[in-house]
Chains A and B, each alone.
Chain A
């Protein structure tokens, strides 16, 4: 059932970016070129639908790098399955984030 879930192009792009290792809001914005008013609401909906889940970075790591802690997002198994289906639907999705930029999430 999950693989049959229809994603909008924007949601598929955000899922793809998260899987590619761009795991916090501003980096997803930079990668996709989408404005903040699109990216963050879309991530709220994806989290509600169980496609992604979030967790806060440890304070000690942020303190060591002298910056505020980030809220990281990660694909759930449902999100991974849905993204696979979306890739078949949007074949050009792979080209938007070149494979050499894909990071290990």
Chain B
């Protein structure tokens, strides 16, 4: 054989050993590999004829190495048998609760890493002044549409008002921005009145300018998303000049993720004089005391005179719906999931039994506590996981994210509750372990007992579970058969109490 062929065969043989070693338990793998490498060396020595390898010798070595796979699998099986505590843990109530806790911890950690979720979870961040409303044309089909022209806004601002003592205006447009030399980005920019942030009372980060200065000086407030993406989360961003369209503007600060709850998914807020704003936008109005009295619901009709002294139908919309946070939506979706649960699974916990034996009250209490613990772990997991899904791609509040949250909460809640019920139905009422080793009842039973189903057993030796394959009038649901102490001898080696 050529040396290259021998080298190739040797690589293949070591590759087989390496692959087989993956079956062995991690703590035994190194020693197992050491033994097989040594054995392979001796096998190779024995296969050589006149210190030369032959094809038949290589074939024998390959057969030798293939035995390593079976050996590795045997070692794995033997180690699994020896691990008594692990075997006892498998299928137990503790394993189930640990699994749910791990899911909860994972969703919580993920939520802490996503700024959008962090902002949603802490509603204090986006609390908007309750004396503010948004004024919109009454014909608008939803509150996300911009309907008020700058001229109308300026007319209202110039006239004395009974119900309002302050106005702010903004419109959303796409702008070409140069955040740093050589980089050109298209941002969604809210062109707002100088008093927009001041009136809304929104917090800004790294702001080196006082509120008064914000009112006087045109500048830009960046969203946390573009601050991280385009400015590398620079904490000294305040005061830097950024090229917006045809002018340079000064960065006033950064708006934390999630605080902007008004219409428009905005990358930056350009605060400038109203004379620089042209187009249709949104008007925010601050209510006077009579205005607060008149604003009795989330949406009120407003009649206003336009420039031709004709009545114009408007409406005032409160921000309550936009600042409720995700909790109300979550409660609604979970309520729907509980309502829909009986439609997709039987909500029976499978308590019926063949014999007259009654489980002790402590067993029954633990069974209900276990069910409660599972639900208590599932519900916060669903809450956080749905927020993770809704805000994994965006840092700001949006109606689309709310839809994702609603649908994912309902879906995960429904499937999670279904899993909890099915899991509960398959747990031994005595030790709360999952029943295992399903055995299909055979032809004899079908013929002579008119019963067809599956029998499962508790590995602790407490119960048998009979599940009918075809529910009948006398055997419609699963039943438990409690085993007496004469069965115990069969389960001595199971490691389960």
Determine whether A98 belongs to the interface, using a CB cutoff of 8 Å to chain B. no
B368 interfacial contact with A, CB 8 Å: no
A40–B40 Cα distance when bound, in Å, is 13
Given the known interface contacts A36-B67, A38-B67, the answer about A71 and B38 at a Cβ–Cβ threshold of 8 Å is: yes
Taking a contact as CB atoms under 8 Å apart, the answer to whether B42 and A26 are in contact is yes
Q: Is A90 an interface residue (CB 8 A)?
A: no
Interface residues as binary, A3-14 with B (CB distance below 8 Å gives 1, 0 otherwise): 000000000000
Contact A24 B39 (CB under 8 A): yes
Alpha-carbon distance A41/B69, docked complex (angstroms): 10
Closest CB of chain A to B49's CB: distance in Å?
A: 16
Question: Contacts A26-B46, A44-B71: A37 and B66 contacting too (C-beta < 8 A)?
Answer: yes
Which chain B residues numbered 80 to 130 have a C-beta less than 8 Å away from chain A? Answer: 82
As a 0/1 sequence over residues 57 to 90 of chain B, the CB contacts with chain A under 8 angstroms (1 = contact) are 0000001111111110111001000100000000
Inter-chain contacts of A35 with B (CB < 8 A):
63-64, 67
**Cα distance A40–B78 in the bound complex, in angstroms:** 13
Task: List chain B residues, Cβ under 8 A from A36.
Answer: 39, 63-68, 71
Across the interface, which residues of B come within 8 angstroms of A71, CB to CB?
34-35, 38
Does A58 sit within 8 A of B, measured CB to CB? Answer: no
Q: How many residues of A contact B (CB 8 A)?
A: 21
B274 to chain A, nearest CB (A): 85
B66 closest partner in A (C-beta): A37
Q: How far is the CA of A69 from the CA of B36 in the complex (A)?
A: 11
Residue of B nearest to A62 (CB): B38
Closest-by-CB residue of A relative to B71 is A40
State A48–B493 Cα separation when bound (angstroms): 16
Counting chain A CB atoms within 10 Å of each CB, the highest count among B35, B65, B70 belongs to B35
Are B71's CB and A26's CB within 8 A? no
> Quick check: is B389 within 8 A (CB to CB) of the other chain?
no
Which among A25, A37, A38 is the interface contact of B39 at CB below 8 angstroms? Answer: A25
Q: How far is the CB of B196 from chain A (nearest CB, A)?
A: 75
Rounded to whole Å, the gap between the CB of B256 and the closest CB of chain A is 61
Interface size on B, residues (CB 8 A): 24
Shortest Cβ distance from A67 into B: residue: B41
Q: Is B43 a contact of A26 with CB atoms below 8 Å?
A: yes
User: Would you give the shortest CB distance from A66 to chain B, in whole angstroms?
Assistant: 10
- Residues of A within 8 Å of B67, CB to CB, are 35-40
A36-B67, A37-B66, A37-B67 known; A44+B78 contact, CB < 8 A: yes
A26-B46, A37-B70 as given contacts; A44 in contact with B38, CB under 8 Å: no
Residues of B within 8 A of A27 (CB): 42
CB-defined contacts of B292 to chain A, threshold 8 Å:
none
In the complex, what distance in Å separates the CA atom of A37 from the CA atom of B62? 12
A-side contacts of B35, CB under 8 Å:
25, 71
Let me know if B78 and A70 touch, CB within 8 A.
no
Q: Is A94 in contact with chain B by the CB < 8 A criterion?
A: no
A70 touching B71, Cβ below 8 Å = no
Q: Assuming the A-B contacts A26-B42, A48-B78, are A68 and B71 also in contact, with contact meaning beta carbons closer than 8 angstroms in the complex?
A: no
* Residue numbers in A under 8 Å from B34 (CB-CB): 68, 71
Query: In the docked arrangement, what's the CA distance between A30 and B41, Å?
Result: 14
Q: Are B63 and A68 in contact (CB under 8 A)?
A: no
State in angstroms the CA–CA spacing of A58 and B65 once bound together.
25
Contact partner of A41 (CB less than 8 A), chosen from B37, B42, B43, B71, is: B71
Query: B41 to chain A: which residues have CB within 8 Å?
Result: 67-68
Shortest B194–chain A CB gap in Å is 81
Given known contacts A36-B67, A38-B67, A71-B38, A45 and B43 CB-to-CB distance under 8 angstroms: no
In-complex Cβ contact of B46 among A24, A25, A30, A39 (8 A) = A30
Option from B42, B43, B73 in Cβ contact (under 8 Å) with A70 = B42
Q: Mark A53-76, 1 if CB is under 8 A from B, else 0.
A: 000000000000001111100000
Out of B38, B71, B75, name the residue touching A37 (CB < 8 Å): B71
Q: Give the Cβ gap from A19 to chain B, nearest Cβ, in Å.
A: 20
Specify which chain B residues have a CB less than 8 angstroms from the CB of A68 in the assembled complex: 34, 37-38, 41
Besides the contacts A68-B41, A71-B38, what 5 more A-B pairs have beta carbons closer than 8 Å? A36-B66, A36-B68, A40-B74, A48-B78, A67-B38
6 closest A-B pairs (Cβ-Cβ)?
A: A36-B67, A37-B67, A41-B74, A40-B71, A37-B70, A68-B38
9 contacts between A and B (CB under 8 A): A24-B42, A36-B64, A36-B66, A37-B66, A37-B67, A41-B75, A44-B75, A67-B42, A71-B38
User: Which residues of B pack against A, CB within 8 Å?
Assistant: 34-35, 37-39, 41-43, 45-46, 63-71, 73-75, 78, 82
